[in-house]
Amino acid sequence: MPKLSPTMEEGQLARWLKKEGDKVSMGEPLAEIDTDKATMEMQALSNGVLRKILINEGESAPLGQPIAIIGEPDEDISSLLKSFENKGAQAPAPAKAEEPEPAAAASESKPSAPDEQSRQPAPPSRDGGRQLISPIAARMAADAGISLSSLQGSGPGGRIVKRDIEAAMTEKPRAKAAPSLPLATLGQPAEKGAVYGPSAYRDEPVSEMRRTIAKRLVTSLGPVPHFFLTSEIDMERAADLRRSINELYPDAKLSINDVIIKVTAAALIAHPQVNASFQEKTIRHYEHADIGVAVATDNGLITPVVRSADLKSLVEIASEVRELAGRARARKLKPEEYTGASFSISNLGMFGIDEFTAVINPPEGAILAVGAMAPKAVVRDGAIVVRQTMRVTMSCDHRVIDGATGAQFLQTFKQILENPLYLFLSQ
């Protein structure tokens, strides 16, 4: 298992691009690996034949663990296989019924009452009532709306694998109409005296991205001394600017978030103490604003980086963010495209969230949480008027940023956003 990203500790085999017996050449794509942030191609390191695949699709392996053997067609690989087995690197045999398979998702139904068991058919079971499913098959089934209880797995031990889902998608298209619900589900009284056991469930292995997010959050909110600053901003002029630019350049498709990125970059250059990170023995100050933009994906949050945002126009930023976000959701980002930000922005305004606090992504010194822009009654010149407003909260690492320093940054950010012509006068 090769190291395909700077923070990768193990990889999950998403798809083999070759099968046993295929010829391979050095540098040729051999498999697709799910790392902590992206799906990367693993290349063959030598010429020869793919003699043996040691881990299956959906299984994970730590860095350096053998996952396949490439050799000559007639080469004796028995000693390699024996060595691999002796080191215990092979996937363990199915565990006892109380513990889930380490490399497969599991479903379990545990009805406690006999009458409930007769009314509720259990899914196909392996090893004490568990249904074994590879992670990629589980994701494909969920996306296609396929019931796993109707499938018989063709993988080892009856595990449902990718080819089973593909076959089910070919044989039976996804139903368009939702099945009718029992009366009890619709709020009608349940059968008198009915006894129900614990709900059935399915355990799906944690993806490499979600595992990394969990580790980084533990190393952030605990060790990093956070403090938070909130400000409310009048967004009328920023909204007018966005509208005007999109009228002049329809292809720009400028969003409010693009304007926020540009204004953040300008404020960071005005306050270099905030454009910094804690490095244990030093505080690193950055010359340009490399801004991480949080993007939600099916596997978790990733922050592609807009490099030197202070030097780019609004239209350039809008185009780059769209392109990076698209590749982030497709898990096609290169490691250097989602690491090394000097400051991050997380915007949940599109979900109707008014205000929230975000967790700093170490070693960055701060992150800006952006809420929804919405009309609000405010007092202007002694009169009540309706204005577009937005609340932002900055999470600061107190080892890098003092309260007054963070407040001055937010003050500048607010002034520019409320008077965005500053962006053009300062260039």
Domain 209-425, CATH class in plain words:
alpha beta
pLDDT at 228: 96
For residue range 217-272, list pLDDT tens digits in order. 666 767 888 999 999 999 999 999 999 999 998 898 999 999 999 999 999 999 99
From CA 69, how far away is CA 412, in angstroms rounded?
59
Question: Residue 123: which pLDDT band, with cuts at 50, 70 and 90?
Answer: low
- Is residue 128 a contact partner of residue 122, using CB atoms and an 8 Å limit? no
- 366-380 pLDDT per residue, tens: 999 999 999 999 988
pLDDT of residue 259: 96
Distance, first Cα to last Cα, the chain: 48
Which has the higher per-residue pLDDT, 40 or 113?
Answer: 40
Over 90: is that where the pLDDT of 117 sits?
no
Tokens 């993988």 belong to: 155
pLDDT for position 286: 94
Give the confidence band of 84 by pLDDT, cuts at 50, 70, 90: confident
| Assigned token pair, 287 | 């010359």
Kindly report the backbone phi and psi dihedral angles of residue 163, in degrees, each rounded to the nearest multiple of 5, phi listed first: -65, -30
Confidence of residue 181 (pLDDT cuts 50, 70, 90): very low
Looking at residue 108, its pLDDT comes to 35
Q: Are 112 and 197 in contact (CB under 8 A)?
A: yes
* Beta strands at 343-347 and 305-306: parallel, antiparallel or unpaired: unpaired
* Residue ranges in 122-175 assigned as alpha helix (H): 135-144, 162-171
For residue 66, the surrounding DSSP H or E stretch is none
The CA-atom distances, in angstroms, between 351 and each of 267, 328, 347, 348, 374 are: 26, 19, 9, 6, 12
Q: pLDDT per residue over 331-388, tens digit each?
A: 888 888 988 999 999 999 999 999 999 999 888 999 999 999 999 999 888 999 999 9
All structural domains of the chain with their residue ranges: 10-86, 105-176+193-203, 209-425
- Average pLDDT of span 316-320: 95
| pLDDT on residue 260 | 97
Residue 282 has pLDDT above 70, yes or no: yes
Selection from 270, 342, 276, 266 nearest residue 303 by Cα: 342
Beta strand 343-347 pairing with 291-293:
parallel
Q: Quick one: how far is CA 222 from the chain centroid?
A: 21
Q: What is the rounded CA–CA span in Å between residue 327 and residue 182? A: 42
Mean pLDDT over the full length of the chain? 80
107 confidence band (pLDDT: 50, 70, 90): very low
pLDDT at 314: 94
Q: Is 221 helix (H, G, I), strand (E, B) or coil?
A: helix
pLDDT, greater one: 191 or 308: 308
Mean pLDDT of 398-421: 95
Candidates 14, 73, 15, 81; CA nearest to 47 is 73
Is residue 70 helix, strand or coil? strand
Q: What is the pLDDT of residue 149?
A: 67
Across 7-26, average pLDDT: 88
Q: Report the percent of the chain where pLDDT is more than 70.
A: 73
Catalytic positions = 398
Residue 104 clears pLDDT 60, i.e. is over it: no
Q: How confident is the model at residue 16 (pLDDT cuts 50, 70, 90)?
A: very high
Task: Name the pairing type of β-strands 366-370 and 343-347.
Answer: parallel
Assign 147 to helix, strand or coil: coil
Number of other residues whose CB lies within 10 A of the CB of residue 285: 14
Q: How far is CA 198 from the centre of its chain?
A: 30
Q: What percent of the chain has pLDDT over 90?
A: 44
Q: Tell me how far apart the alpha carbons of residues 266 and 425 are, in angstroms, rounded to a whole number.
A: 12
More confident residue, 318 or 9: 318
What is the per-residue pLDDT for 142?
66
pLDDT at 166: 79
Strand partners, 278: 283
pTM value is: 0.59
Range 4-8, long-range pairs (CB < 8 A, 24+ positions): 4/33, 4/35, 4/40, 4/42, 4/335, 5/35, 5/36, 5/37, 5/38, 5/40, 5/335, 6/335, 6/339, 7/36, 7/37, 7/212, 7/339, 8/35, 8/36, 8/63, 8/208
Structure tokens, 232? 């409310």
Distances in Å between the Cα of 149 and the Cα atoms of 121, 122, 184, 337 are 9, 8, 22, 40
Choose between 200 and 156: higher pLDDT. Answer: 200
Q: Which residue has better confidence, 120 or 266?
A: 266
The CATH number of 10-86 is: 2.40.50.100
Residue 111 pLDDT > 70, yes or no? no
Residue 118 has a pLDDT of 35
- Whether domain 105-176+193-203 has CATH 1.10.3720.10: no
Checking if the pLDDT of 303 tops 60, the result is yes
